Amino acid sequence: MDGWKEELIRIVGARGYLDRPEDLRLYEYDAGVDKGRPDIVVFPQSAQDVSAIVKAARRHGIPIVGRGAGTGLSGGAIARQGGILISFARMNRILEIDPLNERAVVEPGVVNLDISAAAAPYGYFFAPDPSSQRACTIGGNVAENAGGPHTLAYGVTANHVLGVEVVLPDGEILRTGAFWPDSPGYDLTGLMTGSEGSLCLVTKVIVRLMRKPEAVETFLAIYGTVEDCATTVSEITARAITPAAVEMLDGSMLQMVEEAVHAGYPLDAAGVLLIELEGVREAVAHQAEQVRQACAACRAREIRQARNEQERQLLWKGRKNAFGAIGRVSPFYYVHDGVVPRTKIAPTLRYIEEVSRRSELAIGNIFHAGDGNMHPIILFDARRPGDIGKAQKAGFEILGYCVDAGGSITGEHGIGMEKVHLMDRQFSEESLEMMRRIKMTFDPARLFNPGKLLPDRQPCAELRQPPLIPGSSLPS
């Protein structure tokens, strides 16, 4: 065994690591399509353990990747260059629930939904709600600045992080932020949140808790065309209403979801909007009438309102379990998350349909319509030669369109290794160079999550070609 591995084992103990090939295979992929096998997986139990691991890795020049639950979709938790993968599965304690100050202190391995469960008896919840919230962990959410259906009203993870404890690439333990918002000085908490493990490893998080709303109303608006669906989003905004969530599913996704979940979605519709309002009872009642009028003005053929909490949960079960439902139809799928202005949703859907025809691959759409965060889901079969290359090319074209439409290459999944070749499409070289300088200030040896987020200095033509991955790179 290599000397550096023995040093790590002394830190985490005999039961604190994995290095057998059959074990490492379980950690070589996330929920995306890329792969990368680490040389060892270690399970620290404290910030001090993480610090010691990082210092050992630095002495030996070994790359480090942090990992939460492995639910990411951009390759952020993949050991692209081998080395050490730090799993935070054993740092999973909720350290404090403080309803009086509306905050909680948690370790990075805490499951997202568990924070809301712990805060519920006090009348509070944790607002960021990725579709994988039953599995994803807060450390990964902070690293990727995760979003979710309720981002429209509540914002992304960064809006709910008051402070973090992190381990820097030299092994130093740093604490940023405070127990209150808007602490003075540089916003180091904001810099760390969304840095995708390239600047630090998160070992503790202070999160903001939100009081449960007095009233919640959920609607399912059913349409004959996706254009009318998309137009409704702008119509609701024009009426000065900000729903808690506005989700859209097109016809192909409706069929897949309904056959798997039986949520009561129509099988013959071109698309639906799942709209949720939250707030003071009187305000929600007024907004509900405005939403009905907006949907009717945009030719909704039917507007259903959940009659009770059971019906509401069933509608959301369909949305939250949509990705799993795809497995009944296709053995593989590739999901993206480009962003466009709300007014560009309809033309973007038309473009996605064009890409589907050109690539001869089915593409379904389920996305956060309220903030224009598109999630085209490209169905393919990795066992068929050339299919994965076609899927990646289709995704690359859609993201390029999003940028040209005034949007972004990611809304919540992060850059990781999947979209690193598109960063120069989104940012100027001056902006990228500033990001590289920040990276080098924190991590001059470039050992933290190497090969992610920032492109190497290459000719633009090379950077803009997506790295096509052979079929063998997919999880089996």
Alpha carbon 276 to chain centroid, angstroms: 21
pLDDT at 338: 96
Using CA of residue 323, residue 325, residue 326, residue 327, what is the dihedral sign? positive
pLDDT at 1: 66
- Structural domains of the chain in order of their starting residue, each with its CATH number: 3-87 (3.30.43.10), 94-211 (3.30.465.10), 215-323 (3.30.70.2190), 326-473 (3.30.70.2740)
Alpha carbon 163 to chain centroid, angstroms: 20
Q: What is the mean pLDDT of the chain?
A: 93
Is residue 168 within 8 A of residue 91, CB to CB? The reply is no
Q: In the 8-state DSSP scheme, what is residue 279? A: E
Supply angle C-alpha 425, 431, 434, rounded to 5: 140
The Cα-based distances of 38 to 63, 82, 90, 269 in angstroms read: 10, 4, 19, 46
- Side chain identity, residue 110: V
Distance separating alpha carbons of residues 112 and 2, to the nearest angstrom: 36
Neighbours of 292 (CB within 10 A): 16
Q: For residue 40, list its beta bridge partners.
A: 84
Strands 271-279 and 245-250: antiparallel
Which residues of the chain carry a pLDDT beneath 70?
Answer: 1, 457-476
Is residue 407 within 8 A of residue 338, CB to CB? The reply is yes
pLDDT at 371: 92
Neighbours of 428 (CB within 10 A): 9
Q: For residue 304, list its beta bridge partners.
A: 220
Neighbours of 17 (CB within 10 A): 18
Q: Among residues 380, 370, 449, 368, which one has the least CA distance to residue 413?
A: 368
Number of H helices, E strands in the chain: 17, 18
pTM score, whole prediction: 0.92
Q: Can you read off the two tokens belonging to residue 18?
A: 């994995």
Distance separating alpha carbons of residues 141 and 205, to the nearest angstrom: 11
Q: Among residues 367, 461, 469, which one has the least CA distance to residue 410?
A: 367
Is residue 417 within 8 A of residue 356, CB to CB? The reply is no
